[in-house]
């Protein structure tokens, strides 16, 4: 190649080259941000399908259910239990970075249990009235992002 080939670039060509570099950097930054989101386990919980579980009654009479807390949804997000028997929810927060919580705010069931990153906590209560009780995560705006569910108490 002739040495002058390097010097023959027009100002427009140099501009285009500079723009391409900027665009490449922006694309790389976007990819890094996306990778971080995936690492953090952040995905919208909106419009997720309903995943329902029927609690089994253990030999000691306790209805145990495992609920996984993700950013930003519960899995399962619908839990069916019998009235009048103790319920034990095992809450496991799968997020590496984000603390979560499960809250039921109702006159007959009042639960609010925070779960730190990668932690597991249990909470117990006995439902006294059949009905549908919404639950949500009360951290930040997580419930707006879809971190909600329903506890269904059947006779």
* Footprint on this chain of Cu ion (rule: CB under 5 A): 100, 137, 139, 142, 147
Residue 64 near residue 56, CB atoms below 8 Å: yes
Nearest approach, Cβ of residue 81 and Cu ion (Å): 22
Taking CA atoms, 102 is separated from 3, 43, 57, 154, in Å, by 69, 18, 21, 20
DSSP 50: P
Nearest approach, Cβ of residue 95 and Cu ion (Å): 8
User: With respect to Cu ion, which residue has the nearer C-beta, 89 or 147?
Assistant: 147
Nearest approach, Cβ of residue 127 and Cu ion (Å): 23
Pick from 147, 54, 52: which is nearest to 103 by CA? 147
Q: What's the CA gap between 74 and 64, in Å, rounded?
A: 16
Query: Tokens 């723009």, residue?
Result: 19
User: With respect to Cu ion, which residue has the nearer C-beta, 55 or 139?
Assistant: 139
User: With respect to Cu ion, which residue has the nearer C-beta, 63 or 95?
Assistant: 95
Nearest approach, Cβ of residue 154 and Cu ion (Å): 27
Degrees (nearest 5) of the Cα angle 66, 69, 71? 160
User: With respect to Cu ion, which residue has the nearer C-beta, 54 or 138?
Assistant: 138
């Amino acid at each position: 190649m002739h040495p002058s080939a390097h010097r023959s670039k027009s100002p427009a060509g140099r501009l285009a080259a500079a723009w391409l570099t900027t665009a490449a950097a922006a694309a790389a930054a976007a990819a890094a941000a996306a990778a971080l989101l995936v690492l953090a386990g952040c995905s919208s919980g909106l419009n997720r399908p309903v995943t329902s579980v029927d609690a089994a009654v253990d030999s000691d009479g306790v209805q145990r259910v495992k609920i996984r807390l993700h950013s930003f949804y519960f899995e399962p997000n619908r839990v069916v239990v019998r009235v009048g028997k103790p319920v034990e929810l095992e809450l496991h927060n799968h997020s590496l970075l984000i603390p979560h919580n499960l809250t039921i705010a109702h006159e007959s069931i009042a639960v609010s249990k925070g779960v730190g990153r990668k932690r597991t906590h249990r909470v117990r209560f006995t439902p006294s009235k059949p009905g549908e009780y919404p639950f949500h995560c009360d951290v930040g705006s997580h419930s707006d992002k879809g971190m909600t569910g329903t506890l269904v108490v059947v006779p």
